[in-house]
Amino acid sequence: MALPPEPLQELLPLATQIVDAEVVRVVSEGEAPEGPSAPEGATSVPYKLQSQVVVLKVNRAIRGTAKGEITVEKPQGAYLLSAGNKGGFLLQDGAPHPVIIGRYGPDTYRIETLERAVKEWK
Partner 1 sequence: MTTINDRQLRSTYSALETQFRADPNTKVDGNGMVKLLAAVADTWWSGQASLEKSLSKPGITRAEQLALVKNGMGSTEKADLIRILDKGAVPLTDEVKSFLEQVVDRAAPPAPTDGALRITGNQAGGLIKGTLAAGSTVEALNLSTAPNARLTAEDTFVLGKAGADGKFQGSVPDMKEGDLIKMRSRDAAGKAGDWVTVRASGLGTDTRNAEVAIFRIGLTDEKNGKISLENINASRQVSEPGAKLMFINERTSEKTTITMDANGTFPADTKLNGKAGDSFSVRASDGTNNKDFSAEVGKVQVPGGTGGTGGGVQLPDPKLHKDEMNADGTPKFSTKRFTGPLYTDGLAATDVKQGQIGNCYMPAGVASVAHVMPEVIKEMIKDNGNGSYTVTFKEEDYRNGGYKNKEITVDADLYVRSYGGPLYGSSSGSTSPDKMEMWWPVLEKAFAQWKGSFNAIGNGGVASEVIEAIVGRPNADLSIRYSDETKVWNKIKTSVDNKMPVAAGTYGKDEASRYTNTGVHSNHAYSILGYEERGGEKYVNIRNPWGETEPWPGDGKNDGIFALKLKDFMKLYQTVYTVR
Q: Cα-flanking dihedrals φ and ψ of residue 106, to 5°?
A: -70, -10
Decide if residue 1 touches partner 1 (CB under 8 A).
yes
- Which of 28, 38, 69, 116 forms a contact with partner 1 (CB under 8 A)? 38
Residue whose CB is less far from partner 1, 44 or 96: 44
Q: Cα-flanking dihedrals φ and ψ of residue 63, to 5°?
A: -135, 135
Minimum Å gap between C-beta 56 and partner 1 is 13
Of 40-59, binders to partner 1 (CB under 8 A) are 40-47, 49
CA triplet 99, 105, 110: central angle to 5 degrees? 125
